[in-house]
Each structure stands twice: as structure tokens, then as C-alpha cells.
Chains A and B, each alone.
Chain A
Amino acid sequence: MSKLRARLRKWREAVEKRLPPWRSRALAVSLLVIGIVLPFLFSPSSAFMNATIIAVAYAVMSLGLNIVVGFAGLLDLGYVAFYALGAYSLGWLGSGFFFKAQVHALVSPVASTLPGVHLNFILILIGAALICAAAGVVIGLPTLRLRGDYIAIVTLAFGEIIAVVAVNGQSVHVGGGMTLTAGNLGISAVDAPYFPGIGSFSLLNLRPWYWLIFAILLFVLFVNLRLRDSRLGRAWVALREDEVAAVSMGIPLVRTKLLAYSIGAAFGGMSGAFFGTYYTVVNAAQFQFGFSIFILAMVIIGGLGSIWGAVVGGLALGYINNYLIPVVLNNLPSKVGFNFQLTSVEFGIFGFLLVIVMLLRPQGLIPERRRRLELTAEVAPVDAQLAEAPGTPGGAA
């Protein structure tokens, strides 16, 4: 087994040596081009297109959670709260839900005649990001003094509280006969995104939806890459590795942690707002603890702290959840004689995946270099030299 692995690595290194130095840039450009032309290869309302859109939106969330869990090492089990808040931002700011209000900004001619708050989707996206960033600070404050598992529990409790409020918001009155949420009935008839010159998006043609969420993904990816290499990104990693040492080197603990929570939350909110308009309904039943674990599974399967890992994990689980299980394999158990559908046990499948990945490949599919050093005994020669270099006694241990 290890011999095979060594041989594989030798091959990989031989191939890598022959590739020109601009290969990573070429790879990025070709992926970008594939991403842009992808919708032309499938019919505009196919199940695969639908799965792709959802998978890309998951990747955005996965990138957001990766900042909190992967970069800053704060295990957040309540990420569904930001999905909920993002989706509700859309419900509040882009539908007739607050029917007593009359606010319109850059929306389609139809929507601008309707009662309620109707903002352009880009404005809603910004609003969702701001609301979630504020919520991220609120969730972060009680966890500042805590570490590890305790953070997980506080964030979980926060996520559950948001979910309970979402379900019971129907009975919370905000004045004028309007309520906070529509509970399990859902805020329906939300506005589809509208852009002057393009018109309103329709669910009969999924291509514009895809390009919209792909653009959001590119934006979030860009911010992520820039953040990772920034002063703030290095501060997050330092806090994750050793909080006491980082603080004594002058890293502002409160600001750094809260920024991790709020930036991660903002991305979750943007994706949540997209889901709100894409699903055309903001229903409290969507926001369950399982979803937090689902997003966490993407980050972990991709590789904690690895940006490309988070994207790949998000896309992979997105396709598994929305295409492979419901469309391709759903009737598999009945074919082999079991009396259930695969969709009913999807969380069991994800739980199984989590256990297997943790046991067999704890560093994930595309591990971050630093994590790989920590988690595997097989350290590449260069990494080993780095770890033994003067100034970093003890290396990553």
C-alpha cells in the first residue's frame, strides 16, 4: 500500500516537473472557461442544470464556513443560522411579505407596482451579507473566551435558536398585522432576480441563474484567496494553531475572531439569499441542524482550511445530494430488495462519509499544506526541511 503510494507520488512529481511553470494559471483559466460555457452543454431546464446551480451555491457556503472552521479553527455547528438569515433577508427585502410597506428600488416593472419591500437582487445580496455579518458578531461574542468543543456547542445552540425563531416567527408580530416570518407556510412569491436590460429570471431557463451564482462564487473565491494571503488570514491561522502564542505576538484576539465569524457568515448569507429566490419560497422547515453538518461535511471532505478543497467538497456533495442520490441512485435499495428510498437516508450517508473520511483521509481531498503537515506522518521532503528550519522549533507539532 505504502509502496504503491510512493510510486504514485514519484509519477506525479515526474509529470509535474515536465509541465511548464504557468500550468496553474492555465488550469485556472480553463476551469473558468469551462464554468462559463457549461450551461450551453445541457438543456436550460434539465435536472443536471438544477443540481449544478445548487452545487455552486453550496460551494459558496462551503467557502464561507471554511473561513470560520478551516482558517480560524472555530468549529461552527450553527452555520444554518446564516443560511436562514440570508434567505429571510431575501424574503423581507424582496417580496410582498411586509405588505404595509411600499419600498421599491431598481426592480422589474411588475414588482414595482406591488406592495411590500422590493429591492434589486444585488442590493438584497449586500443586505443579506450585512445582516449575517452582524449576526456573526453576535454569535461570536459569547464564544470569545471558549475553545474547541464549547464553541461548537454555543454555535449549535445559536443555530437552533434561529431555527426555532424561524418556525415560531409566525406568532411574533412586528406591527401593522405583519409577522416576523411565515413559519412553516413559508414566505412565497419572492421576486426573481431582475437586471435592467436582461429582464426577470425565469425558472424555465436556468442558464441566467447559473451565471449569477457562478459570478457570486467567483467573487467569494477571489475574496477568499486574497484573505488567505493577507495579514488577517495569517492572523486567523496563527490563532488556530496556538491562541496564547498568537495573542502574545500582538494579534488582536477579539477583532480577529469576530471578523472570521462575520466574513464567514456574510458569504453564507449571500448564498442563502440566492437559495431564497431560487427556491421561490423561504420556508422555516429548510433550516435544520442537519444542514449545518452538511456544509461542515463539505469543508471537511474537501480539506479543512483549503480553499479549493472547500469548492470541490461543496460541488461534490452538492451533486451527490441533488443529482446522484435523488435522480440516479434513488431506487437502488428497492432494486436490491430493500423497502426504502435513498433520499430518506441521505444524512446517514453523509454521516458515513464523514466517519470514513476522518478515519481514512483526515486531511480531506485537497488538503491545505499546513494541515497535511500536521495530520500525516508522510511529510514531503521540502515540508520536512521547512519544519526543521531554524526559527520554527518543533515544526508544526
Chain B
Amino acid sequence: METTTISPPPGPPALAARPLAAVRRYVGRWGLIAALAALPIYYGITDLVNGYQAGFVAGHAVIHHDLSKLGFNFAEGLSNGAIWALIAIGYTLVYGIIELINFAHGDVFMIGSFTAVGLWATLGLGLTTGALGLVGGLLVTLIIAMIVTGSLNVLIERVAYRPLRSAPKLASLITAVGFSFILQNVGLLWRGGSPQSVPDLIHSQQTVFTIGGVPILRGYILAFAVMIPLVFALTWFINTTRAGRAMRATAQDPEAARLMGINVNSTISLTFLLGGMLAGAAGLVYALYETNIWYFQGFKAGLIAFTAAVMGGIGNVRGAVLGGLIIGVIQSLSDSRLGPQWTEAVVFGYLIAIMVLRPRGLLGEETREAG
């Protein structure tokens, strides 16, 4: 038996700390991605190995061993996520420019839904409206809802955030929460306290085509048909126009931007306008897709979208879209596997995990707050 061993040379004390630092760096880089990949991989494997119940034929459960249930979760989740992405952009734009979590944003989205549904009734859109009238009517509704929510957001900024811009940040966060409650009660008085179903104008549950056993519903297509052009228009606006450049400059350094002759106040108003407009568009899509609206929908949607914005890296538009899509998929997986009553806890669990593992998000830069 070999007894003589070469004892390791006594290293400097820093060496003991170095592996830990490496582990921490590794967790920081891959921890969130691993946590995100865990759910789909786990359920994909259980679907393949144990199978899932795809229905009943003659009283016997039909067990399938394939990935189409997972594919269905993804399709549903991504299209839901497209709505969250639109809301999350509003959070991320506002946070990027004044470092404020605009708590009222989710409720602006709710007002968007309510406005859209109210306008359908005014315009006479119903289940019997022809295709051309429907598309035209919905476009008009979309534009009006976007204008309403955009102006509402600008108004909130003017009344509740601008006077407090030099005060401690807690102050404007609290007025944001206050406005969130005010808007919720506006919604409550507008349409009552229980969820209301709205006419399923586009027959959102109708299958358009099927890819690999996964039905693609009309609602899915609608969500992407609204989200993709708006996101492209927004990125074009931010990247190429003069006002967009002013927005980026203000986000980087408001003082320097002011010295360069940028009107910081109107640039911030513009940011709120854009965020509010996207929330209004999301409100319309939500009403068409989910076919019911509720005064409390904005609160949950707001939290989910905020989680999405943080996940993608707050202040980053692409990150918000990515985060929204990912959160949508997580939600859909949790809905169909764990039960919808646990979804909220799962999403918030992920939110805490992001904060612990990677506060700057997937695509984000280090921020002052989360450094």
C-alpha cells in the first residue's frame, strides 16, 4: 500500500477563495439559463419516457410518447408571451430612462382592453360583422386604444412622477402604486368587479394550420401579427429617428443630454407615450385572445411583464421581448403541468431566482440598482 503521498504545496490564502469565485462566476453566467431550460427539458423527457394522456378512445386513456404536448405548450406560451412582451417593453423603456418601476403600467394595459371593448360596441363590431369590416374596425380600435393609453401614460407621468423627479426614488414608486390602485378602481366602476366575457370576434380558438401535430390557432397568429410590426417600428424609431436618439441619450445621462440641447421633459413624455401605446395594443390583443376582461387583469399582467423585463435585462427592448416570450412559455408549461393555480407562484419564484442568480438579466448591462 502506498503510504507516501506528496502533500500539496501550501498555496496562498487567495487560492482557497478562487475556486469559489469561479463557481460564482459560472453560476452567474449559466445559472439562470439552466433554471430556464430545466422546466421544458424535464417535461420533454417525462413526456417521452412516461407518455401523457392525449384523450380517451372508447373509455381507454390514449397515451402518447412524443413531444407534441410540449410543442403545444410552446405555441400557446409564445403567443401569450407576445402580449407580455408588448407590456414589458413599456416597463423597460420607462425604467431605462428614469429608473422607475412604473407600477401603474399594468393597469394602463387594462384600461387599453376596456377601451377596445367599449369601442367595439360603439362601432357595432360583433360576431356577424364581415371580414373586411372586422379588420377595418379592429384597426381603428387598435389605433384609438393606443392613443388613449399612450395619453393616459403621459398624463400619469406629468401628474405623479414629474413633480417628484428630484425627490427620493421611493416617492415616485409610491405614487406609481397609488395610481395603479386608482386605475384599478376606475376599471372596477367601469365594468364591475367580476370578469366579463367579450365577443370572440376573431374566433381565436379556431385552428388555422397544424405543424407537427401542434395546432396553430387564430389567436396565436393575431398576437404575433400585432407584436412583430410594432416591435420593429419601435426599434426603428429608437435607432434611427432624432427623437429616438434623444431617448437613448437621455437614458444614458439626463444631465449631459440636457446640456446637448435635448428637451429632457418632452423626451421622457415621449417614452411614456410609446410605452403606453404598446400597452394599449397589448390590451386589444388580450381582449381578442382571452375573450374576457377584468379590472384586475392589469395587476397580474403587470407583474408578469415586469418579470419578463427583468429577465431580459431591464432597459433593453430586445431583452423585454425575449423575456416576455420565455415567461409566456413558463406560464403555459406550469398551467398545463402543475395547474393554473400554481402559475403565479412559479412565475414569481423565477423572478426571485433571476434576482439571486443574475440580476442584470439575460441581455442586460449591469445597472446601478442591481449591480
Contact = CB atoms under 8 A, between A and B. Distances in A.
B352 A164 contact: no
Contacts of B303: 156-157, 160
A289 interface: yes
B195 to A, nearest CB: 16
Contacts of A350: 178, 181
A293 B348 CA distance: 18
B182 A355 contact: yes
Given A149-B101, A347-B181, A355-B179, A161 B164 contact: no
Contacts of B38: none
Interface in B194-236: none
A153 B101 contact: yes
Given A157-B352, A168-B342, A150 B369 contact: yes
A195 B225 CA distance: 67
Contacts of B185: 344-345, 347-348, 351
A350 B175 CA distance: 11
Interface in B332-364: 341-342, 344-345, 348-349, 351-352, 355-356, 359
Interface in A291-333: 293, 296, 300, 304
A358 B162 CA distance: 12
B344 to A, nearest CB: 5
A75 B352 contact: no
Nearest to A143: B355
A296 B345 contact: no
A142 interface: yes
B82 to A, nearest CB: 23
Contacts of B180: 351
Nearest to B341: A168
Interface in A207-226: none
A154 interface: yes
Given A149-B101, A375-B167, A351 B344 contact: no
A145 interface: yes
A10 interface: no
A290 interface: yes
Contacts of A9: none
B49 to A, nearest CB: 26
A252 interface: no
B341 A153 contact: no
B355 A142 contact: yes
Given A146-B370, A168-B341, A168-B342, A152 B173 contact: yes
B68 to A, nearest CB: 28
B351 A153 contact: yes
B18 to A, nearest CB: 20
- Chain A contact-residue range equals 35 or more
B interface secondary structure, majority: helix
Interface string A144-172: 01111110111011101100110110000
Interface string B26-49: 000000000000000000000000
B35 to A, nearest CB: 13
A146 B174 contact: no
B16 interface: no
A352 B180 CA distance: 10
B53 to A, nearest CB: 20
A75 B170 contact: yes
B369 to A, nearest CB: 5
A354 B174 contact: yes
Contacts of A345: 185, 188-189
B189 A340 contact: yes
Contacts of B174: 296, 300, 354, 358
Contacts of A340: 189
Contacts of B370: 145-147, 150
B345 A348 contact: no
A354 B352 contact: no
A336 interface: no
Contacts of A75: 170, 173
Contacts of B177: 77, 293, 296, 351, 354
Given A153-B306, A154-B355, A358-B178, A344 B188 contact: yes
B123 interface: no
B181 A358 contact: no
Given A345-B185, A348-B185, A359-B160, A150 B169 contact: no
Nearest to B169: A148
B188 A149 contact: no
A354 B193 CA distance: 23
A142 B356 contact: yes
Interface string A267-296: 000000000000000000000011001001
Contact of B178 (A165, A352, A374, A375): A352
A368 to B, nearest CB: 13
Interface in B300-343: 303, 306-307, 310, 341-342
A264 interface: no
Contacts of B172: 358
Nearest to B99: A149
B231 to A, nearest CB: 24
Interface string B284-307: 000000000000000100010011
B168 interface: yes
Nearest to A292: B177
Contacts of A77: 177
Contact of A359 (B163, B299, B306, B351): B163
Interface of B: 99-101, 159-160, 163-164, 167-175, 177-182, 184-186, 188-189, 193, 299, 303, 306-307, 310, 341-342, 344-345, 348-349, 351-352, 355-356, 359, 368-370
10 residue pairs, one from A and one from B, having the closest CB atoms: A348-B185, A351-B181, A354-B178, A157-B348, A355-B178, A351-B178, A164-B345, A351-B182, A345-B185, A157-B351
28 contacts: A73-B170, A142-B352, A142-B356, A146-B359, A148-B169, A148-B170, A149-B101, A150-B369, A153-B310, A153-B355, A160-B303, A164-B341, A164-B344, A168-B345, A296-B174, A296-B177, A344-B189, A344-B193, A345-B185, A348-B184, A348-B185, A348-B186, A354-B174, A354-B177, A358-B160, A358-B171, A374-B168, A375-B168
